[in-house]
Structure 1
């Protein structure tokens, strides 16, 4: 009976600690620590809260870019990094080697897939347009060369 009560007390204590931690405002430093530790889900929650509280924070957008890159979402990471640079062109809050490494990774993935799937879809649509146009032009030209039927 004592173990059941101690388990219940432990779960109540954990819920209390969780409630206290969520009541505190999230900070970019917390998000950075979570990212460095590889806790992406928790970092995602903290970054979302920081962005909600500070939508024009270059540091928050930079951390979001780091998170998105870690998740392999390269086009979104590129957008967030560009937004962070527009807000603070120097990105002075981040270690220069880390900022450069992220920029290099984003650039490397940009060259692998320059426009994402949308770019390939647009290219396929353009090719289809050219083929259909060519077929129609060829048909009109062929029809004009035939003598009229009497």
Structure 2
């Protein structure tokens, strides 16, 4: 089998090595390769290990933000991206176009679902349902108590 054909299987071999315990410590490069190959669960496990070993790594937090964005976990992705920027304000390790695209996506989703208001719409609808139900129950009870109360 030609070498260039084997390259596409590299993320799979890496995932198998991480799962089987052959690899002692995951690296940022391994986690990045898994993420780029679309192996999100394995990338998540590898990143968790990298972040445990290097909690102040801006590049690890940036990669975590990328993973969370792919998973659609926008508020968490925003927090990880902010942490990466605090650790390295220029994000010098990341391609400028990629980091700008990630920041734009995070910002776009921030306006769709601001973190401070998440879930309040459902709570308001539930409260409205309870109020209307209570009003109807009280109306039925009052009507039955009236002399000659007909429905």
TM range (shorter): 0.5 to 0.7
Q: Distance in 2 between matches of 1:101 and 1:116?
A: 24
Question: Which structure has greater helix proportion?
Answer: 1
Q: TM-score, normalised by structure 1?
A: 0.65
Aligned to 1:66: 66
Structure 1 match to 2:147 = none
Q: Across the two proteins, how many residue pairs are aligned to each other?
A: 111
Larger radius of gyration: 1
Deviation, 1:119, is 6.7
Cα shift at 1:114: 1.4
Two-structure CA RMSD over aligned residues (Å): 2.7
Distance in 2 (CA, whole Å) between partners of 1:81 and 1:115 is 15
Unaligned stretches of 5+ in structure 1?
1-13, 129-150
Distance 1:113 1:75, change over 3 A: same
Query: What is the DSSP-based 3-state SS (H/G/I as helix, E as strand, rest coil) of the residue aligned with 1:20?
Result: coil
Structure 2 unaligned blocks of 5 or more: 1-15, 129-151
Query: Structure 1 stretches (4+) deviating beyond 4 angstroms?
Result: none
1:27 and 1:47 map into 2 onto residues whose CA distance is 8
